[in-house]
Homo-oligomer: A and B are copies of this chain.
């Protein structure tokens, strides 16, 4: 049944991925029906002349993606779902933040090179040799790095992080830094430290879907400040803050997710002044701040935080590797003890081995070298994305033109057929993130987020072409536009 698998050992694609892709094809084309049993790892490895780990990895990927099901002692089978529906649950019915995040997390593994949905860096660009060199240097200290570390984070890493953050204009000593397991954990701890269930908080609209999910999980009520190409609407921020007690404002000032836009210096200054006046904190998500393609990176709010109102969070998920799950948080002194206590409550701290490997990586200057090497690649992909959008989108579609980051935000005509675009694109083999999940206070479904970080330029072009054609067909064939203006203030 799998006798048709052929491996190209000269290809850059890893063997496990070649195997996985061909099994997926066999399932999609019906050659492997639901419930069919696959050969054992040992059998397939022997047949193909590869290691068992390679086959295991391929099977595990397919299982993560929902294509296969494995039962210990019985075997591995084609899952029933795999043959019944597209693999993106969020486009079949209710797209909640949790289902979309779950889809996006799996998409990278399951769909390989055909996703515009995940704001991931390109795995092909991961600094593998340098990272493993840094990891190998911890080998002599297994007893140490295998043990518990301080919940605040390893001191050696915090020293390096303090130096690292100074390059963004954030003045912090090693003692000021809390190591976090990525920006998601950092902003989640900040939200828990500042607000109680039922409290109102301010977010940008659109904003990071993961944070909207956290607000829901922790029972916090989001009020939305619409974003335009200069940043969030501060009149709305002021208006909301004047009407009710606001605990914090969550913002992504640099290369915002999902729009790619930056807050202007004037708005940043005014935001700090408004926060002071209405006495709320600012949670600053600086995940994308390093990825500037046209000018120097914009300074973060934290660099001007004279009143100690900003909790600054960043990570290495976009600049190095998401799999590190490591980032840094710098909070005003009054909040530090509570944040460390919440980190203890969450998980006691991050794996010391990875913390030390990152410290070594930073200490050797590998981060700077890696950024110098990768920024031009991402710049070209941003350019390719904008060229493809210019060439392929039907009239009436608008999009942002980001100077950095990994995302671009599309605003389609407010036509009832637009909500089906992600599903129809997926049927053509292309995943994009539906815009609705990034909107806290609206139900508009005529937006899309497309991410260009993980795809080569020609793939971006093909994907945007497919997307343009899907939108064009929907505009022609789906029922006529609704009359009612959408409740959401459109971007741009």
Contacts and interface: CB of A to CB of B under 8 A. Distances in A.
Contacts of A53: 137, 360
Contact of A159 (B72, B163, B188, B363): B72
Interface in A329-365: 340-342, 344-354, 360, 363
A376 interface: no
Interface string A309-330: 0000000010011111100000
Interface string A162-189: 1100100000011100000110110010
A235 B43 CA distance: 56
A485 B137 CA distance: 56
A95 interface: no
A64 interface: yes
A6 B137 CA distance: 24
Contacts of A80: none
A342 B159 contact: no
Interface stretch (A21-29, A147-155, A276-284): A147-155
A142 to B, nearest CB: 4
A441 interface: no
B142 A128 contact: yes
A239 interface: no
Contact of A156 (B60, B106, B182, B345): B60
Interface string A193-225: 000110000000000001001100111000000
Contacts of A320: 146
A101 interface: yes
Nearest to A64: B155
Max chain B CB contacts within 10 Å: which of A69, A218, A342, A347? A347
A159 B70 contact: yes
Nearest to A53: B137
Given A61-B144, A63-B174, 12 more contacts: A63-B159, A72-B174, A101-B344, A104-B148, A108-B148, A146-B323, A182-B348, A210-B344, A217-B342, A323-B353, A351-B354, A354-B354
Interface of A: 14, 16, 53, 56-57, 59-61, 63-64, 69-72, 98, 101-102, 104-106, 108-109, 118, 120, 123-124, 126, 128, 131-132, 135, 137, 139-151, 154-156, 159, 162-163, 166, 173-175, 181-182, 184-185, 188, 192, 196-197, 210, 213-214, 217-219, 317, 320-325, 340-342, 344-354, 360, 363
22 contacts: A16-B144, A57-B141, A61-B155, A63-B174, A71-B173, A71-B174, A72-B162, A101-B344, A102-B150, A102-B344, A104-B148, A105-B344, A105-B348, A108-B148, A109-B147, A126-B143, A128-B143, A149-B323, A185-B347, A323-B353, A353-B354, A354-B354
